[in-house]
A and B are shown apart, each in its own frame.
Chain A
Amino acid sequence: MATRAFQRLPTAPAGRILALRLVAIVVSLCIIAGVLALSGHSPVMLAELILRSTLGSRFGLEDLALFMCPLLLTGAAVTVCGTIGLWNIGAEGQFYAGAIAATGVALGLHGPVLVMLPLMTIAGILGGMAWITVPTLARAYAGVNEIITTLLLNFIASLLTYYLTTGPWRDRISGAQVSTRRLSVSIPEMWGIVHWGFPVAIVIVVGLALVLSRTRWGYEIRIGGANPEAARYAGIPVRLRIISVMLLSGGLAGLAGMFEVAGTVHRLQGGMANNFGYLGIVVAVLARGSCLNVIPAALLMALILDSGIVMQTQQLSASVILAITGLILFMIAIGDELAHYRPVATTPAKGKAS
C-alpha cells in the first residue's frame, strides 16, 4: 500500500474553507476569461468595464444593493428552513405570493403611507406564509417531502402573477404589458434608488442569526435539524417547531416579494421574481447554514447579477450569467470538499498503512 499523502478531516476549519473558496472564485474567473477570449471578447476590457460599472460607480453600487435586498431575504428563508433539516425550494413562489398580497393591499386600499406600508408588509409576510402552509402541514403531519411540494407551488404562483397582471389587475392607464399600474405607495428611498428595505433586510438577517444561536427556540431548531431522534428524547415538540420554521421561512420570502414590489419595481409584473427564490438556494448553500454568512453570500450573488447586466450591454447572452453562477458554485463545492483534506507528513513507513 502506498502511504496516503492526504487525510480527510471530519470537519473543515473555517479559515481553510474561506481560502479555498477564494481560490475557487479566481479559478472560475480564469476559466470565464479564457472562454470569453476564445469567443472574441477582450477579458481585460470586460473586467475593467464590469469593475467600473459595479463597484466603481455609484449606479453600480445602488444596483448591487437592490439585487442584494431580495437575495438576503430569500437566502435567509432557505437557511432558516435548512437549520431544521428541511429544504424550502419554494422561495420563488412565496416571493410571488408576498408580492401579490402586498399589491392587492396597495391597489385595494387607500390611506396614508404610514398606514399603508405596515399593512402591505404584513400582507406580504402573510402571503408568503399562506403559500407554504400546505407544504408545511403535509410535511409535519403526513411526512410529505417538502422539496417537491414547495417547488411545484412556484409554478402556480408564477402563473397566478401572469394571470393577475394580464387580467384583472392589468395596467389600464399606461398600457404597460404584463404589469399592474404603478403603485401609489412605495418604500422611501435612503440613498439614490436604494430603499429602506435594504438595511431592514440586513437587520433581519443579523436578527435571525441571533435568534438561532441565542434563544431556546433556536436551540430546539438546531437540535431538531441535527438529530430528530435526540430532539424527541429531549422532549422537544419537533412537529410544532417544523411548522413554525417553515412558516417563518415562507414569511421571509414573502417579505422579499413585498420589498421588491414596493421598493424597487413599484408594480406587480409577470416574471418579476427574476429567479430570486432559486438564487436564494444558491445563497444558502454558499452560506453553509449560517445566517451571518448569508450577507457575504448574497453580496457575491448580487455582484454576479450586476455583472450580468454589464455583459448584456456587450452583446453577451443573458444565459452567460447562469453559466457563470453554475461554474462558480461548482468550483466552490470542490473547494469546500478539498478543505477537508490535510496533507499528512509522509513519514517513511514504520507501521503498515491501515
Chain B
Amino acid sequence: MNNPAAPSGMAPGTPPVLQLRGIGKFFPGVIANKDVDLDVWPGEIHALLGENGAGKSTLMNVVTGIYQPEEGEIILDGYGQTFTAPQEAIRAGIGMVHQHFKLVQAFSVAENIHLGWDEAPRLASPAVMEARTREISERFGFPVDPAARVADLSAGEQQRVEILRVLARRARLLIMDEPTAVLTPEETGELFRALRAFRAQGNAVIIISHKLDEVMEISDRVSILRGGRKVGTFRTADCNPTMLAATMVGRDIVRRNMRARPEGAAPIAPQPIMQLRHVSVRDDRGVETLRDVSLDLHGGEILGIAGVAGNGQRELTHVLTGLMARTSGEIMLDGSVVERADPALFAHAGIGHIPEDRLRSALAPSLSITTNMALREYAEPPIGRHGLYDAAAAGMLARDIADLADVTIPDFAMPIRNLSGGNQQRLVARREIRIASRVLVAAYPARGLDIGAIATMLGYLTDLRDQGVAVVFISEDLEDLLNVSDRIGVMFHGRMMDVIDAENADIATIGMLMGGREPTDLQPGGTQ
C-alpha cells in the first residue's frame, strides 16, 4: 500500500515528482515525523489528512526546505535532494501556499508577484510588472487584476495571487495548506477547477485538509498521518468519509468507565441549566459556522463534543460563554432567554470557560501570576469591594489556585509568561473550575498535557460533575470522550449531527457521524 506502482496511463519508468523515504523530524521532547514515506506522481492531487498535531505541517515544511529532516531522504524526479533553504525548494519546482497568506497588503498584485523573484526585470515599472502579471495570469488561468492593491482583495482573490506567485516560479508541485479554510463555497469551487486544470498539465498538488468531503471531491489519493507517522495511502475512489474519519482518529481505545458516581455525588438534574434552541452563527463572510444547534446542559452531567476540529466547536464554545453573538435561535439560562452575548454576564452566572487557545486569550502574559489568577474574581469580595482591588486578597487566591493546580511558583509577582505552557494551562483550568459553579465549558482541556496530567484533568471534570455542575467537554480524543462523558454530541459542518448515549456508543457510529453521515442512515450498532 505504501509503494503503489505508477498510476495507469503513465509511461513506464516515469519517476514520481516527489518521493519521501523514511522522513523523521524531531523537536525537543516531540517526535513530529517518523518513518514517513510518500509518493506523489505527476498528474495527481494528493490529499494529506490528519488531526491537529498529526505532523502534516511539519512534513510539508520539510519538503519546502523550511525544516531540515533528521532522518530520511527527499527524492525529486528520481534524484535525491537536500534543501538547506526554502529558496532551493522553490528553484526545484516546489511551491507552497500557506494557510495564512504571505503577501504584502499595501502592494499591488503585480508587485507581490514580482517580490523576491530573480526573474523580475531589473527596471520594473508598474506598467511592465502589470503586463507581465497579466500574461502570467492568462497563461495559468487564474484571473487577477494586476493593478489592484492586495488589501482590497477578498480572501479567494488573495489566494489566487499566492498561487500565481508560486506558479510563476515554475512550480510543478503545488502544496496547499488548508486552502479552503478562508474561502466561500463558490470560491472553493473555482479553486478546485483551477487545481484540476493544473493537474491536467502533468503537475502535482498536495493538499492539506481535514475537511473530509473536500478531500473526497478533489483528491486522487489520500495519505493519512497520525501521531507523526503515516497510517497509509489510499486511492480516494476506494474511500468514504466515514472510513477516513475513523482512520484519522482511530487507535486502540482503552475504555475505562469514569461515568460511575461515587457515594453522595449529585444526580443528573432533571431541569436543564442552559439550553440552546436552534442556534445558528454566521461569520463575517456570511458562512454559517454553527447551524441550528439545540442542546440541553444538565447539572451533574458531562456532555462530550466529538468532531474533527473546525466543524463548529469554537463557535459553540463562544456562544455558550457569551463571547459570540448568535445570528438566530435562542439561548436560555435557567429557563429565561439571554438576549445579549455578554461574557461578563455569563461568567457571573457561574459559567467557566477553558478556551481552546487559552494561552493567548485567557491570560495577560506580561502581567504577574497574581494579576492573572484574579481575572475571574477581581470584581467580587474579597478581592473587589467598593470598586477597590485588594492585591493581598488576590495574592491569597493565586496561592490557593496554584496549590490546587499543583504548580510550584517561586514568585507570584513574576510575569506569567515565565511559566511553562503546561503550568499556565493548569492554572487557567483551575481558575475556571473555581468560578464554574453551574457550567464549565472546556475546549480541548487535555491538549498539550502529558498522560499523567491528562488523567488529572479528566479527574477535575468528573469532580465538577459530582458537585452538580454541567460540564461541556470538547475533545478530539475519542478515548477520553468515551471514558468520561455521559452523552456525546458529534459535530460536522457546524451541525450537531446527533447526541448519543456514551455508554452504548461505539466508535464506528461516532466516526460515521464525524464524517457527516446522517444518523438516520445508520443501522443500530452499525458496522463499517
Q: Interface on A for B, CB 8 Å cutoff? A: 10-11, 213-220, 222-223, 226-227, 229-237, 354
Contacts and interface: CB of A to CB of B under 8 A. Distances in A.
Nearest 6 Cβ contacts at the A-B interface = A235-B344, A226-B364, A235-B343, A227-B364, A229-B361, A219-B389
A230 B364 contact: yes
B363 A230 contact: yes
Interface string B19-61: 0000000001000000000000000000000000000000000
Given A11-B414, A235-B343, A230 B389 contact: no
Interface stretch (B177-185, B265-273, B366-374, B451-459): B366-374
B28 to A, nearest CB: 8
A234 B376 contact: yes
A150 B347 CA distance: 36
B371 A219 contact: yes
6 contacts: A10-B417, A215-B389, A216-B379, A219-B389, A227-B365, A230-B362
A215 B363 CA distance: 19
A183 B365 CA distance: 51
A10 B418 contact: yes
A231 B366 CA distance: 13
B325 interface: no
B378 interface: yes
B391 A213 contact: yes
A218 B362 CA distance: 19
B388 A227 contact: no
A233 B343 contact: yes
A62 to B, nearest CB: 38
B389 A213 contact: yes
B389 A234 contact: no
In terms of DSSP, what is the predominant structure of the interface of chain A? Answer: helix
Nearest to A11: B415
B367 A222 contact: yes
Contacts of A216: 378-379, 384, 387-389
A347 B348 CA distance: 54
A231 B375 CA distance: 8
B379 A227 contact: no
Interface of B: 28, 322-323, 342-348, 353, 355, 360-367, 371, 374-376, 378-379, 384, 387-391, 414-415, 417-418
A234 B375 contact: yes
A226 B365 contact: yes
Contacts of B360: 227, 229
Contacts of B353: 233
Contact of A233 (B28, B361, B418): B361
A235 B375 CA distance: 10
B431 to A, nearest CB: 11
Given A227-B361, A230-B362, 17 more contacts: A215-B389, A216-B378, A216-B384, A216-B387, A216-B388, A216-B389, A219-B374, A219-B389, A222-B364, A227-B363, A227-B365, A230-B361, A231-B364, A232-B323, A233-B362, A235-B342, A235-B346
B367 A226 contact: yes
A222 B372 CA distance: 11
Contacts of B375: 223, 230, 234
Contacts of B364: 222-223, 226-227, 230-231
B343 A232 contact: yes
A10 B415 CA distance: 9
Contacts of B391: 213-214
B418 A11 contact: yes
Contacts of A229: 360-361
Contacts of B371: 219, 222-223
Contacts of B361: 227, 229-230, 233
- Most B Cβ at <10 Å: residue of A220, A226, A237: A226
- Most A Cβ at <10 Å: residue of B361, B362, B364: B364
Contacts of B418: 10-11
A36 to B, nearest CB: 41
Contact of B345 (A226, A235, A236): A235
Contacts of B346: 235
A10 B343 CA distance: 32
A22 to B, nearest CB: 23
Nearest to A227: B364
Nearest to A220: B378
Contacts of A217: 387
A241 to B, nearest CB: 13
Contacts of A223: 364, 367, 371, 375
Contacts of A218: 389
A354 B26 CA distance: 13
Contact of B323 (A220, A233, A236): A233
A234 B355 CA distance: 12
Contacts of B366: 226
A233 B14 CA distance: 56
Contacts of A214: 388-391
Nearest to B384: A216
Contacts of A230: 361-364, 375
Contacts of A236: 344
B528 to A, nearest CB: 40
Contacts of A213: 389, 391
Nearest to B364: A226
A10 B371 CA distance: 18
Nearest to B360: A229
Contacts of A233: 323, 343, 353, 355, 361-362
B397 to A, nearest CB: 13
A265 to B, nearest CB: 38
A104 B374 CA distance: 46
A226 B365 CA distance: 7
A61 B264 CA distance: 74
B504 to A, nearest CB: 37
A226 B390 CA distance: 20
- Most B Cβ at <10 Å: residue of A214, A217, A229, A233: A233
Contacts of B348: 235
B382 to A, nearest CB: 13
Contacts of A226: 364-367
A215 B343 contact: no
A353 to B, nearest CB: 13
A253 B361 CA distance: 34
Contact of A219 (B344, B355, B363, B378): B378
B152 to A, nearest CB: 18
Nearest to A224: B364
A233 B432 CA distance: 12
A27 B198 CA distance: 64
Nearest to B390: A214
A223 B418 CA distance: 17
B346 to A, nearest CB: 8
Nearest to B344: A235
B81 to A, nearest CB: 26
B516 to A, nearest CB: 31
B353 to A, nearest CB: 7
B315 to A, nearest CB: 15
B342 to A, nearest CB: 7
A237 B343 CA distance: 10
Contacts of A232: 323, 343
